[in-house]
Amino acid sequence: MSIRTVGLEDVYIPSNSNFNELEGVKFFKDNKEIISPKVEFINEIKEKNLITYTLDVDGSIYKFGRNVYVVDKAPLIKGVVDKNINLGDTFNLLDGITAVDGYGKDITKNIKVKGRVNNKKTGSNILIYSVEDEYGTITESTREVIVNEYKVNLSSIPQQFAPICVRCDDNGILQQTGDINGNNEPNQLTETFEVTEECNLIFLRYKDINIISVIKNNEVLNKQSYDLKDNALIFNPPIKDSTIIVTYKLKNSFSVNYGPGGDYIDLKLNCEIEPNLVEVNFECDEENNVRPIDHLSLNSIYNTNYDGFIYIDKNKYEEKYIKIHSSVKYLFSNIEDKTRMYVELLDFNKNPVYNKEVNITCDSGKIVKDFDKTDINGVIPFTYYAPTSNKTITIVAKCGKIKTSISLIIKERNL
């Protein structure tokens, strides 16, 4: 004689829940249900219980076992934190949100969200996240998403080639300062370089410029005496024991106009195509200092759309491209030769990457860097001193996972 059973599968139940050990459990003999089996709990422990069902059928004793697991750990929702976004920003309710059950099993697909974020209106938005595991245990978590007016803070240092300098006066109102040397001509700069030892390369402060004049010891040089490449002046022949005064104008830069009472700032690009005006809000801290922006991207310079708009981008991009710039291909081993060079670091949009450390090495000779981290143009200038033996040397620049190299020929000079 055989007994057919129904509902004796192992079961998982939440802790402190009411469990009916007979619910859904049935026994059959010859397709007839047997009523009222005797139920015993054996070796009861914290998380696992063995239930024994005992049947007396016509004097014959039958026993059937069943495991009941008690789940003490509720599911966990990860990544639910309060967040601030700006008007118009795209917001994904489930971006970065995951969930696991009490045993670490991924149940992210079970997450449900109650509420929505209106990114077209400033204010608070409440979202309720919930997840249910296979045992019926539910966990909830709440987050607040605040939509703010879009605010961008101008920095007291020029951002990405643009010679904007701003400060706060005693009344906390932003005012535009003069440029580097106080020239009255908009976006025109003058820099003076004292050159003592022989030099063929002078590194300039900004890219995308027009040279107005180059004066050497009070004499205006003709344009055949120098060449402008990238952001460096290259002299042929090299110069020595001279004072060089370079005046240049930035082709793509800002002019700044302030609204009534300093309530807003209009930024206007100075470039070939007449740009639109962009309203940029600013804010100061309690001591009237200007807080720097994260990143300022000029679309007409970097993204080559040339639609005249200034795009504000709060993302910080990692380095993507690295290049070593040199104006020479060989140096001499018998005259203690040297040359000026620089490393340039750019992101994937070809924007300069600021304040990044670059390791510059050579297999022979010596390198002396002007500074360890890239400046606002994404550049580290350095001097390379040639060795005293003839060979081909390699200079390597590395930042993170990207690197580049160039080779120079070191040979004797006929004296």
Q: Which pLDDT band, with edges at 50, 70 and 90, does 360 fall under?
A: very high
Q: Please report, as a single letter, which amino acid is at residue 6.
A: V
Q: Is the pLDDT of residue 195 over 80?
A: yes
Torsion of CA 358, 362, 366, 370, to 10 degrees: -20
- Sign for the CA dihedral angle at 173, 174, 179, 184 comes to negative
Q: For residues 251-272, give the mean pLDDT.
A: 46
How far does Cα 10 stand from its chain's mean position? 49
Global pTM value = 0.42
Q: Between 35 and 219, where is the model more confident?
A: 219
Domains of the chain (ranges plus CATH)? Answer: 3-71 (2.60.40.10), 76-148 (2.60.40.10), 153-314 (no CATH), 321-411 (2.60.40.10)
CA 222 – CA 225 distance, rounded (Å): 6
If you write DSSP's letter for every residue of 42-100 in order, what string do you get? ES--SSEEEEEEEEEETTEEEEEEEEEEEE-PPPEEE----EEEETT----TTTT-EEE
Q: Please report, as a single letter, which amino acid is at residue 262.
A: G
CA 47 – CA 40 distance, rounded (Å): 17
H/E element, 299: helix 299-302
The rounded mean pLDDT for the chain is 74
Number of helices (H), then strands (E), belonging to the chain: the values are: 1, 35
- Summarised one tens digit per residue, pLDDT across range 334-353 is 888 999 999 999 877 677 78
